[in-house]
Chains A and B, each alone.
Chain A
Amino acid sequence: MTKDKDYISAIKRPGLLYGAIVRSDIPSGTIVSIDLPDFPKDIHIIASKDIPGSNAVKVLNTSLPLLASETVTYKGQPILAVFAPSSEAAQSAAGYIRINYTDTDELQLNFKHKLDDPDQQQEIQSIAKTDIPHPNSKADEISVETEESPDTEKPDVPPSTDSVSKEILKKVIKWGNPDKLFSEADSIIEQTYITGPEQSPLTAPTGAMAEFIKDKLIVHAATQWPFHVRNVVSEVCGVTKRKVTVYQTGYHPTHDEKLIYPSIYGALCAVAAMQTGQPARLISTEPSYRPESAITRKTAFNSDHEPLAEIIDIQTNVGAYAFFADEMIQQIAAGAAPLYDIEGIRMTIRLLSTPTPPRHHFRGLGFSSAMYSAEAHASHITMQTQSNPLVWRLKHLKSSKSRPSDQTKIKYTLLKELLENTAQRADFYRKHAVYEMQRQKQQNFSPFFRYARGIGIACGYGINGFSRAFSEEKKHSITVTLEENNAVTVSLSIVEPEVEKIWKSIISEALGVDASLITIEYGDTAHVPDTGPDVLRREIHHISNLIDRCCDSIKSQRFIEPLPIKVKRGFKLPADSDNKLQLFSGLSWGSVIVELEIDTITLEPIIKGAWGSFECGRIFRPEKLASALTKSLHEGINRCGGAQIRYGRQPLIDVFIKEVDTGLPTSATETAYGLIAAAYTAAVSQALNSQAASLPFGPGDILKILEHGSKM
């Protein structure tokens, strides 16, 4: 949330043109013709041929067309932009435009035919095999295969249909010998976990405004990544980056939906401003979507019901274009790795392209969904083996000998401590025993013979920011200056008023200056360094880390160099041996318990209570942190039930935070999201005596279970 800045909707200029986008209403096809009525002269239409520079929005290695020229690859793809003196006129004009496409059914058939034909399929999925072994890992410890379709870098992918998806990236992670262990297994438990499509709640307008001032293109955008807007506008308009300055307006990225769209709108406005000489503004309510995942986990057990090996197959729909595909795979792999002791694993992650809108960051890049599957599966195992989920976790949470060294270093002792703390506060042992007895007695009756209550538990960790494999992070930096009057100025492009207070505390403590003398300077792209996108809670740990490093450098120069001392620091791999092998830094740890009852009339899950224990590094503002975690748990529960959750009269959400006095803070939002989902499904499963394995899981899904009468 930005502070005290005008929202994009409040920015007005004399002669402002209002924009509207004409989007495709079919998922795939070829544009044959566009019927444009005779519009008045003050209506301006922008098509792909009007773009002076490149008709592409580049996001790392992927690019998508700014406006579709011939081929449409997903429903809702922008084809034309209409600018008019009022928003009604723009919307009205856009409504009169007709776009004619080729017969899309034929296209679907052709593509289906291609997929059915093994030769064609091989051609489509021709794969560039690249092995990415970790420099410090032994060949027999871990093997990783990454396969990438050559089409990922092309702006136009072949058309496909809802029923046809195309694999664009695949990674196989293997340790131990899972095949041998499965052949020796006494029993196998298998379950598929689905995180369904979820739409951002559209809480804030996404948009941009562009104008020419003294031969400079000035863009105002509600964006999380102002430098990306600048780069895209520069390339689309064919002007140098120096001629483009981007100002952030107020924005509210509830689910990181303001990462890519503002660049698209900014570029369209800039083209309109170039063509007409008038300022142009475009605001859209196009939602962003979370990548859907289907995660199948198969666990082999020995005769003592000890887990031996696991085979995990993960398929994630990323829409028509995959942004941050490599990073997404890293995060999914980290989240899906089970925490319990296991001797072998084979994890296959596939990113699938479908003719649907490109998926965005959505509270992370898949880590929490993957972690949900891991913890929900642990609860499923305990239910199948009739074990107490807490006791089972306390017994099996330990490091496996075959686990590769570059995997996240799990703090098992801390996790057990958090689990026990949460269980004690929630009275887990007693409640679980009672509800388990009720579940087992219900087996021959209706689930609602008496009442349907359940309690679920989950534990795990969360990540902050990008992994160390994300090479783009090296381009991002911040600047800290110690002025002559002992004032400190921090320049960065991430706007976080809440975290600002943490940064000030870090600087104040490190340099011994008063917090009132510290200024956080955000500014525009011409005056601050590129700190990268404001996503994945990077600001909590990663930016705090950069600020800490800048302060260290200033301290070493102070009283040696004359003031002002200006230090710029960028992201790099830390040299300390403890973290050297880990892919993610800034981890937070947590344990969550959810207790609920299913309303026997409305089938709504009624939350009786939620308890969470977290460790998230050093705490600067305990009250704010507790409030933020409470909100995360609350929001996470709402997400689980598809906004159909009801709370008891006095909903109890109880948060405990373990105090740590040294180091840097980390964000536990991601942890809370994944854990609450796993605990919720475990509780619903116990209440219904049937496995709930999809998210969201609301009254409709409960009704389906009752109708089909499926049991554990």
Chain B
Amino acid sequence: MKISCKINGKATVFNTYADKPLALLLVEDSEITSLSPGCGKGICGNCVVLMDNHPVLSCIIPAFKIREKEITTYEGYAKTRFYNDVVRGYEEAGAKPCSYCMASKTLLIESVIHENSAPEVDDILDMLSINKCSCIDEKDLVKIVETAVKYRRRRRVRRS
């Protein structure tokens, strides 16, 4: 079946099976290299993408669900100005996820700061617990998000 959607702002049409997971569509049928789906069962949380700005586990999203949706992967997000807020968070906290979970953790952090301008520690840990990679400890994660939130807030103030 033919499925049209937007991948990183670019209109794309996939000719595929209706139930092919989005993760495989991105890895095999488009030029996305940031994803590294591990389990294929929605457990490891290493295949996070944003679907209409909400984080989803792409390995359990069937192809038919992405019809007319806007998918943002790490590659697309890294080109936006918002990415710099998260990068500053990494720099100031002196901690960075491993290259394996970098894409997913970055998109999860973006989700936290996009949806909540003053997230609580529990909100941060709840959202980031979607990704099971333990390369970075919780204290550092909280620090990264809090720093990113600070810069995002400044950005919002400047814009308003």
User: Which single residue of chain B is at the shortest CB-CB distance from A628?
Assistant: B137
Give chain A interface residues in 621-677, CB to chain B under 8 Å.
623, 627, 630-631, 634-635, 647, 649-651, 653
Q: Are B98 and A202 closer than 8 Å at their CB atoms?
A: no
How near does chain A come to B66, taking the closest CB pair, in angstroms? 16
Pairwise interchain contact A650-B40, C-beta atoms closer than 8 A: no
B36 at the A/B interface (Cβ < 8 Å)? yes
Asked if A204 meets B44 with Cβ closer than 8 Å, knowing A7-B36, A631-B137, A634-B137, the reply is yes
Q: How far is the CA of A250 from the CA of B101 in the complex (A)?
A: 12
CB neighbours of B41 from chain A (8 A): 202, 285
- A651 to B139: give the CA distance in the assembly, Å: 9
B65 within 8 A of A: no
The B interface, classified by DSSP as helix, strand, loop or mixed, is loop
Interface membership of A15, Cβ < 8 A: no
Q: In the complex, are the beta carbons of B134 and A250 less than 8 A apart?
A: no
Q: Are B40 and A285 in contact (CB under 8 A)?
A: yes
Tell me the bound Cα distance from A354 to B20 in angstroms. Answer: 36
B3 at the interface (CB under 8 A from A): no
Please measure, in the bound complex, the distance between the C-alpha atom of A204 and the C-alpha atom of B40, giving whole angstroms: 10
For chain A, give the interface size range: 20 to 34
Interface residues of B in 46-68 (CB under 8 A from A): 46
**B36 touching A204 by the CB < 8 A rule?**
yes
Is B149's beta carbon under 8 Å from chain A? no
CA distance A545 to B28 in the complex (A): 43
Nearest-Cβ distance from residue B18 to partner chain A, whole angstroms: 11
A486–B92 CA distance with the chains assembled, in angstroms: 35
Name the interface residues of A587-635: CB closer than 8 Å to any CB of B. 623, 627, 630-631, 634-635
Whether the pair B37, A203 counts as a contact (CB closer than 8 A) is no
Among B28, B136, B138, B140, contact of A87 (Cβ-Cβ < 8 Å) = B28
* Count of chain A to chain B residue pairs whose CB atoms are closer than 8 Å in the complex: 85
Interface residue? B133 (CB, 8 A):
yes
Contact B95 A205 (CB under 8 A): no
Asked whether A86 is an interface residue with its Cβ less than 8 Å from the other chain, the reply is yes
Bound CA span A631–B134, Å: 7
Cβ contact within 8 Å between B28 and A250: no
B27 interface hit (Cβ, 8 Å): yes
For window 88-105 of B, CB contacts with A under 8 Å fall at: 94-95, 98-101
Report which of B17, B28, B100 forms a contact with A252, defined as CB distance below 8 A: B100
Chain B neighbourhood of A437, CB < 8 A:
none
A204 touches B46 (CB 8 A): yes
Return chain A residues, CB-CB under 8 Å to B135: 1, 631
Min CB distance A565 to B, Å, is 34
Quick check: is A126 within 8 A (CB to CB) of the other chain? no
A54 within 8 A of B: no
A205, B36: Cβ atoms closer than 8 Å: yes
Chain A residue nearest to B24 (CB atoms) is A87
> Which residues 1-36 of A have a CB within 8 angstroms of B?
1, 3-4, 6-7, 9-10, 12
Give Cα distance in the complex from A203 to B47, angstroms.
10
Q: Which of B138-154 contact A (CB under 8 A)?
A: 138-140
A123: Cβ under 8 A from any B Cβ: no
The 7 A-B pairs at the shortest CB distance, nearest first, are namely A202-B39, A203-B44, A204-B38, A252-B100, A7-B36, A10-B33, A630-B137
Partner-A contacts on B (CB < 8 A): 16-17, 20, 24, 27-28, 33, 35-41, 43-44, 46, 94-95, 98-101, 121-122, 125, 132-140
Cross-chain pairs A/B with CB under 8 angstroms, 5 sampled = A203-B46, A203-B133, A205-B36, A631-B135, A634-B134
